[in-house]
Amino acid sequence: MTTLDTLHTAADSLKTAIATKTQDTGWIMHHILDSRELDFPPFGVIHLPEIHLFGIDLSITKHLVFIWLAVIILSFVLIRAAKSYKKSRIPKGFNNVLEVLIVFVRDEIAAPTIGKGFERFLPYLLTVFFFILTANFIGLVPYSSTSTSNISVTAALALISFAVIQIGGMMKNGVFGYFRGLIPHGIPSWLLPIMIVVELLGLFTKPFALAIRLFANMTAGHIVIMALIGLIFILRTYFVVPVSISFALFIYLLEILVALIQAYIFTMLSSLFIGMAVHQEH
């Protein structure tokens, strides 16, 4: 009964904390979480349409808007770059940056991890790299929101990655050949039941880890920045402002690095898993 009592009091204190709105986490969560409206303080709020189809809530949300923004920016920039290649062999200006990234994905991520036949996976890997990179960077712009800090978005990306890995493996080795190849050669037969479970679990943990990694990394930086800013209001003194601002700025710069690294890691690991599924002999 004592446990129940403490739980009661904990719940009560939480309720009062929320009710009094003195030190709640609502304003941090407001920045992190998805919502049905675009917030542009102090200019106003844009409410997004709600859509319900086939019993699924398909409403447009804040994160979806910024995904679409990323898609528009990416399409515009990349198609423009593709057109400039038709005109001349030599890239100019920003296309040089794009080319560096494209060649990096091709020669440093896809080619060494997938090996022979990596070309057919390049469109997926390039798209996922540029999409995550753009979404991460959009999240660093004021008034915007990081769509990759939403577990649903990263889960969707991981699901696509999972599909590409499985389909890639099955196309190369055949459906039965692929599942047979999952279990390593030359293990004792009494280990088979365990290995089958482990390998099947392994199939799902890989994309799960992808989703959680991206989500956690993109969320954490923002929460840390918010918490550092929140320190000013928690301590109720101006003296902490320089500390808060400089630390927040440092974390912000770190976030730029994290945005790049997470796009790289997601692509790199997807590529690695594709390579493992396609060339099972390793």
Partner 1 sequence: MLLSKVVAIIALSGGEAGGSPLDVNPGLILWTIITFILLMVILKKAAWKPILNSLSERELFIKDSLEKAEKARLDAEKLIQDNKSAMVKAEQEAQLLIEQTREYSEKLKSQMLDESKAQSAKMIDDAKAEIERKNQEAFVKLKNQVAEIAVDAAEKIIRSNLDKEKQVGIVNKYLDELQKN
Query: What character string, x for contact with partner 1 (CB under 8 A) and - otherwise, covers 13-52?
Result: -xx--x--x--xxx--xx-xxxx-----------------
Q: Which is nearer to partner 1, 21 or 185 (CB)?
A: 21
Q: Which is nearer to partner 1, 54 or 190 (CB)?
A: 54
Find the binder of partner 1 among 45, 46, 85, 184 (CB under 8 A): 85
Find the binder of partner 1 among 58, 97, 209, 256 (CB under 8 A): 58
Find the binder of partner 1 among 45, 46, 97, 99 (CB under 8 A): 99
Q: Which residues of 112-138 are buried (b: 16+ CB within 10 A; e: fewer)?
A: ebbeeebeebbebbbebbbbbbbbbbb
Cβ partners under 8 Å of residue 47, min gap 6: 36, 37
Footprint (CB under 8 A) of partner 1, residues 199-238? 215, 219
Is 89 among the residues that bind partner 1 (CB under 8 A)? yes
Q: Which is nearer to partner 1, 136 or 150 (CB)?
A: 150
Choose the stretch contacting partner 1; rule: CB under 8 A; options: 94-102, 192-200, 239-247, 253-261. Answer: 94-102
Is 61 among the residues that bind partner 1 (CB under 8 A)? yes
Footprint (CB under 8 A) of partner 1, residues 142-201? 149-153, 155-157, 159-160
Interface ranges with partner 1 (CB under 8 A): 3-4, 7-8, 10-11, 14-15, 18, 21, 24-26, 29-30, 32-35, 56-61, 63-64, 67-68, 71, 74-75, 78-79, 81-83, 85-86, 89, 98-99, 102-103, 106, 119, 122-124, 126-128, 130-131, 149-153, 155-157, 159-160, 215, 219
